[in-house]
């Protein structure tokens, strides 16, 4: 396996297959310092149609600190990005505090009529998730 910094550098590649390979290798290494570079790669406008694997790679990390970014991806991303972000969010909600954080952000999207159908489904799912499991509603 390649060195951590080389893999992080590969996330900058214009070639999506190089970025995807680097993301999967970073996922295997599970070094938490890879989370921010993965987020930067996900946020690049030129990667907007090639983010699914980058989001998937985040699933092996503790993502509690990046829940706002994940909610944004779940409600604005294509189907693959949305599904990946929702899955990570579900795993990351481990307390009433994190449920409330997610729920507060979701409320900003409730009145939006510009969400794609899969994003609206994700919104409903996440709203139900954050108001169940004994988490107090906000």
pLDDT in tens, 84-115: 999 999 999 999 999 999 999 998 877 666 88
Residue (of 109, 116, 122, 70) closest to 93 by Cα position: 70
**Per-chain mean pLDDT for the chain:** 92
Q: Could you tell me if 15 and 54 lie in one domain?
A: yes
**pLDDT (0 to 100) of residue 133:** 63
Q: Tell me which DSSP letter residue 46 carries.
A: G
| Cβ atoms of residues 61 and 87 within 8 Å | no
What is the pLDDT averaged over residues 67-88?
96
Q: Could you tell me if 31 and 79 lie in one domain?
A: no
Q: Could you tell me if 129 and 100 lie in one domain?
A: yes
**pLDDT (0 to 100) of residue 107:** 86
Task: Please report, for residues 6, 68, 125, the alpha-carbon distance to residue 37 in angstroms, rounded to integers and kept in the order given.
Answer: 12, 16, 28
- The tally of domains found in the chain comes to 2
pLDDT band at 69 (very low <50, low <70, confident <90, very high): very high
* Res. 12: pLDDT tops 70: yes
Helices and strands in the chain, H and E counts: 8, 0
pLDDT band at 2 (very low <50, low <70, confident <90, very high): low
Q: Could you tell me if 55 and 87 lie in one domain?
A: no
Q: Which domain holds residue 55?
A: 1-61
Mark 79-100 as b/e (b = at least 16 C-beta within 10 Å).
eebbbbbbbbbeebbeebebbb
* Torsions phi, psi for 27 (to 5 deg): -60, -40
Dihedral (C-alpha) 24, 30, 35, 39: value to the nearest 10 degrees? 10
Q: Could you tell me if 21 and 83 lie in one domain?
A: no
| Cβ atoms of residues 51 and 79 within 8 Å | no
pLDDT band at 132 (very low <50, low <70, confident <90, very high): confident
Q: Could you tell me if 88 and 26 lie in one domain?
A: no
Q: Could you tell me if 106 and 78 lie in one domain?
A: yes
pTM (predicted TM-score): 0.90
Q: Could you tell me if 135 and 67 lie in one domain?
A: yes
């Amino acid at each position: 396996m390649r060195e951590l910094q080389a893999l992080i550098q590969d996330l900058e590649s214009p070639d999506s297959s190089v970025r995807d390979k680097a993301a999967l290798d970073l996922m295997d290494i599970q070094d938490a310092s890879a989370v921010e570079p993965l987020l930067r790669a996900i946020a690049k406008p030129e990667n907007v149609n090639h983010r699914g694997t980058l989001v998937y790679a985040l699933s092996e990390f503790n993502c509690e600190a990046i829940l706002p970014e994940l909610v944004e991806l779940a409600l604005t991303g294509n189907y693959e990005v949305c599904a990946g972000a929702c899955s990570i969010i579900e795993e990351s909600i481990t307390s009433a505090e994190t449920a409330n954080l997610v729920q507060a952000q979701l409320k900003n999207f409730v009145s939006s009529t510009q969400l794609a159908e899969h994003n609206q489904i994700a919104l409903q799912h996440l709203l139900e998730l954050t108001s169940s499991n004994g988490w107090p509603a906000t």
